[in-house]
Amino acid sequence: ADTFKPRVFDRTIYFKKGDLYNRKDHNLTLNRFVNLGTFNFVKNEFRESDSIPKTLDSYYYLTLLPKKFIRVEVLGKTNSASYTGTEINVNWNNRNFFRGAELFTVSVFGGADFQLSGKNSGKNIFKLGAETSLTWPRFITPFHIQGNSEF
């Protein structure tokens, strides 16, 4: 119903009512849907119009990815300064945070590196932290940019 704001589709669909078909606009629209990162499958179909003779209506079939998901990463590492360690990252993601196909991520991480040999043997490094990010599917400026709406 109200999963996305209407402007998401206004920016994504390159065809406008009454436009003649061309392959470039068709591919651009499909690529935009895929690049939003919110759809698992994107398919379109052209059908003869019931209301206007000798014209085609375009239909888009969109399969949503799960809106929220958690990703867990466990890392093992070593480096040239004789440090060996491990790290764990837990990321929570929301693919449609403000209903505009934005990606909101909250990450929590922790890790430890141990120097088992070398001149600083026994000096260990521990890290713990969190970060957040918000990614918009468009370029945002404090002023209007005139463009042809292609990426």
What confidence tier does 141 reach under pLDDT thresholds 50, 70, 90? low
Q: What is the mean pLDDT of residues 90-112?
A: 96
Q: What is the CATH number of domain 6-64?
A: 3.10.20.310
What confidence tier does 90 reach under pLDDT thresholds 50, 70, 90? very high
DSSP 8-state class, residue 14? -
The strand ranges marked E within the chain are: 39-48, 56-64, 68-78, 83-94, 103-115, 124-135
Does residue 93 register a pLDDT over 50?
yes
Among 69, 74, 62, residue whose Cα is nearest residue 106: 69
Among 102, 140, 134, residue whose Cα is nearest residue 3: 102
For the chain, give every domain's residue range. 6-64, 68-135
Alpha carbon distance 87, 127 (integer Å): 9
How many CA atoms does the CB half-sphere of 53 hold within 13 Å? 0
pLDDT at 127: 96
